[in-house]
C-alpha cells in the first residue's frame, strides 16, 4: 500500500504526464477529446486504468481500427514511464469510451459512468 503523502505525489505526476499525452493526442487523433484515469491506491498499480474518450462512437471505432490505437497505447506507456509507474502490459490498463455512449447510457453523467465502470473491474 502507498502512503498518503506518496499517493498525492504520484497522483500529481500521473496528472501531469497524462495531461501531456492528452494534448498530444488531441492534436493527432481525429475525434479524441479528453482522457481520465481511475485508480484504487490500495491495489496500485494493478487497478490503474487510463480511459481515452472520443466525441462519437464512429470516431472511436475508426481510431481503434487504424493506427491511432497503437499511438494511444504508446502515449499511455510513455506517460506512465514519465510518472514513474512500472506496468508490465500497458494494454491491460487502457480503455476507450465516447461522449456519445455516455450520453446514451448515463445521460452524460461521467461520474456515474466511471463509478459503474470501476464496479465492473
Q: Report the alpha-carbon angle 72-108-70, nearest 5.
A: 10
Domain boundaries, position 69 = 4-120
Per-position DSSP letters for 29-94, written without gaps between them? STTEEEEEEE--GGGTTTT-EEEEEESSHHHHHHHHHSTHHHHHHHHHHHHHHHHT---S-GGGGE
Q: Report how many domains make up the chain.
A: 1
The SS3 call for residue 97 is: strand
Which tens digits make up the pLDDT trace of 71-110?
999 999 999 999 999 999 999 999 999 999 999 999 999 9
Q: Which helix (H) or strand (E) holds 23?
A: helix 4-28
pLDDT digit string, tens, across residues 1-48: 678 888 999 999 999 999 999 999 999 999 999 999 999 989 999 999
Amino acid at each position: 500500500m502507498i502512503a498518503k503523502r506518496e499517493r498525492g505525489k504520484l497522483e500529481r505526476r500521473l496528472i501531469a504526464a497524462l495531461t501531456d499525452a492528452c494534448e498530444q493526442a488531441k492534436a493527432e487523433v481525429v475525434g479524441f477529446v479528453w482522457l481520465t484515469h481511475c485508480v484504487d491506491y490500495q491495489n496500485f498499480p494493478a487497478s490503474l486504468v487510463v480511459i481515452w474518450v472520443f466525441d462519437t462512437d464512429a470516431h472511436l471505432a475508426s481510431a481503434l481500427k487504424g493506427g491511432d490505437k497503437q499511438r494511444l497505447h504508446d502515449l499511455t506507456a510513455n506517460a506512465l514511464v514519465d510518472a514513474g509507474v512500472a506496468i508490465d502490459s500497458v494494454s491491460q490498463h487502457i480503455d476507450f469510451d465516447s461522449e456519445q455512449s455516455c450520453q446514451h447510457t448515463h445521460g452524460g453523467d461521467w461520474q456515474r459512468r466511471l463509478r459503474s465502470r470501476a464496479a465492473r473491474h
